[in-house]
Amino acid sequence: MAEDLLLIEGTKEEQYKALLPQIEALLTGEDDLTANLANISAALKQQFNWLWVGFYLVKNEELVLAPFQGPIACTRIKKGRGVCGASWEKEAVIIVPDVEQFPGHIACSSLSKSEIVLPLFSNGKVIGVLDVDSTHLNTFDATDEYYLKQIIALLQL
């Protein structure tokens, strides 16, 4: 069955509010994590046209590339390295207005200018991260954090 995403223009908040129920509908009745991560990545990329949207999952004490949309990416990231590894280690959302100013930033793409990374929790433990990169400085803020957390919650990990 083909799925179509209704893309809307408007404020960032209006876009998230229109996208949330659509992502929820995509995930309803589907328990395959890979499929759900893939659809979330695609929906966010389509709606916001960010440079890179995707997931890394913890495997053997590394973050390993999982479903994503965008240019090729780093395959493995150690705990504490770069923004993704720091989010995993700190178990916290990290918003980076300018990646050039983040100590130890891993430049998977020279086009990336700002980034937000949110940890994925299951039973109180970080099992992965959602990573989003933009070609513009200062793209991400508390609004993104708020709605991306809601989207992650739909996964029911």
Q: Give the per-residue SS3 of 92-125.
A: CCEEECCHHHCCCCCCCCCCCCEEEEEEEEECCE
Smallest CA-to-CA distance from 105 within 142, 133, 71, 130 is with: 133
Residue 2 has pLDDT above 90, yes or no: no
SS3 sequence, the chain?
A: CCCCCCCCCCCHHHHHHHHHHHHHHHHCCCCCHHHHHHHHHHHHHHHHCCCEEEEEEEECCEEEEEEEECCCCCCEEECCCHHHHHHHHHCCCEEECCHHHCCCCCCCCCCCCEEEEEEEEECCEEEEEEEEEECCCCCCCHHHHHHHHHHHHCCCC
pTM assigned to the model: 0.95
How much is the pLDDT for 15? 97
Mean pLDDT for the stretch of residues 113-138: 97
Residue 1 has pLDDT above 50, yes or no: no
Residue 90 has pLDDT above 90, yes or no: yes
Which of the four pLDDT bands, split at 50, 70 and 90, describes residue 110?
A: confident
Which of the four pLDDT bands, split at 50, 70 and 90, describes residue 108?
A: confident
Residue 17 has pLDDT above 80, yes or no: yes
Residue ranges and CATH numbers for the domains of the chain are 12-153 (3.30.450.40)
For residue 65, the cross-strand partners are 56
